[in-house]
Chains A and B, each alone.
Chain A
Amino acid sequence: MIQLLPLALLGAVLGLDVVSFPQAMISRPLVAATAAATLLGDPVRGLLIGATLEMFALETLPFGASRYPEWGSAAVVGGGLFAMRPDGPGTFAVAVLIALVAAWVGSWSMVQVRKLNARLARARHEDVAGGSKRVVEGLQVFGLTADLVRGGVLTAALLALAVPTHEFVLGRWGSDPRVSSAVVVSLAASVAAGAVWKVVHAAPAARWLLLGGIGIGLALLATR
């Protein structure tokens, strides 16, 4: 449990980055999972799961008021879980699944904070309409604090649930490690390929550039 505290603090800071402050994308899985695993002494495993989660995250861009997954605390959960366990047949697959579910739960928790902010803004409407500096700044500080607490509590709760779940599932794992790994990577790369296409398809010659890029990538692989 002591091990979870630094991860919860990291989840708080990275959860805050998703929307509230400073949106520098330190909450993207590539960074967040690596940071979590680095705290546990294994940055390379963090980068591996971070890159995999980043492929999923390519599809979920934070457009306006739309509801999108919260990758900051989710990637801390995924990176932390993957770095905690020695390599096993299902370690990677289960850590990725738990991180994806955590991103979903995180999305719900962001909506709750936004609703809380709205309730407070409604209650303080008269003061805001009167130009109260104290209230305008207070609403901002409250929202930032609530989001910080949300990220920390969420990460701690998810890790507290995920660690025993991870252990339980891995204790009963019956699939071949090659198949387990192939399934996760196929899903992640399929989502990433679809996402890249979604983003670039309207640009002139994008189809050919994407196909050309894939060709170059495959040729580089063949020469390795």
Chain B
Amino acid sequence: MKAMNRRKLISVSAVLAVASLTATAVPAQAAEVGVSTSEIKLGMTLPMTGTASLGYNKIPGAAKAYFDYLNANGGVNGRKITLIVKDDRYVPTEAVAKTNELILKDKVMALLAPLGTANVKAVASSVNPAKRGVPVLFVNTGFSGFADVKKYPTTYAILPSYIMEAKIMGKYIAENFAGKKIGLLYQDDDFGSDALAGFKTAGVNFAVKVAYASGSQGAAAAAGWITKFKAAEADVVILFGVSSATSAMLGTAAVLKYAPQWMLGSVGGDATTIKLTGVPAGVLYNAIGFSPVPATTDMNDEYVKLFSDIYAKAVPGSAFDLNVLLGMNSAFMTAQALKAAGTNPTRKSLMAVLNTQGATLANSALSPVGYSGTSHVGLTGYWVGKYSPTGDLAPLGGTYVTYTTDSGAGAVVKSTYKRPAMPAKGLPN
């Protein structure tokens, strides 16, 4: 009897030991959509083809490059990240269809970095990720409304709002272009409405404002825009549109030899993308630009250095630009949030992490995100720079001075934010 008990005891101990070993080596059985013992599935829709895809179609490759790097280094708690990407061509109805596929057929845990205000709104109302409890992480739009937790409880902005950007631009204009005639090109939708609201708050008076309907941008339209700016004798022209609008404007301006002081919004201000369309780098020279993340040529920045190395190996021959940096940064933040969400992350635990710790998650940006239980506002600041003769954006005076503000009536002030050090090897800790 005693011997049997001893055998039983040994046996039980062995089982416990194995169980304990298993618990540390292999994640417990997952009980969340898109999360298995070996994998976490994420989904992304954005324009991969068509004119609106210009530049933005590098975001998925960038995010995948980081996830591949992460997976090769053990993933998140032993799980590999799989990113499923679908092309929505920047058509809201198609974004709805593709997002439905991601949620209902591919059964992803979360959506990552969808692009475009109209698309994200269409998905919010038709697919209803909020009701489904599906996190919509780091949306690639600066529309201020997505910070509204009541309206979009599972959506997290990442870019600073367009209102913030316009306010920071307004401060720069007041300090540097007082008395000059200012012109504004903007997209005639919520993107532009936010910009107008920000400029109004900043007290910018425009000599001329030119609106273009989304999808109407092109060389022919740009010639008409230039006529209006010329007629108003604008000294400074702000291009607050998407990449294809900026490129159309600058390309046409080069042909027509129209050269005001350009000021480029961050959405359409990626130099690599602009140059890819044939715009000479010289046209960009001395243009004013804004960015929430370090300059993509700044190899002294630990994030830029690591991300560019990873990207160069993953996508050889593809330039490391602002879209790539933002795509990798979103992937990097996702990995950390998933890690912090526990051994068996769920949609709820992931969002709880973002709501409570999101503002402290390490990332490359030079301002923090403003996540809390009551707001999902993204990054909160920009630094101001000038484009070099080769078309690269670098901070004024060689030092990043980040300005921060809110989407309301708050002042624009210099940020005191100290970016936390990057986790070792750029892996979640």
Whether A associates with B in a native complex is no
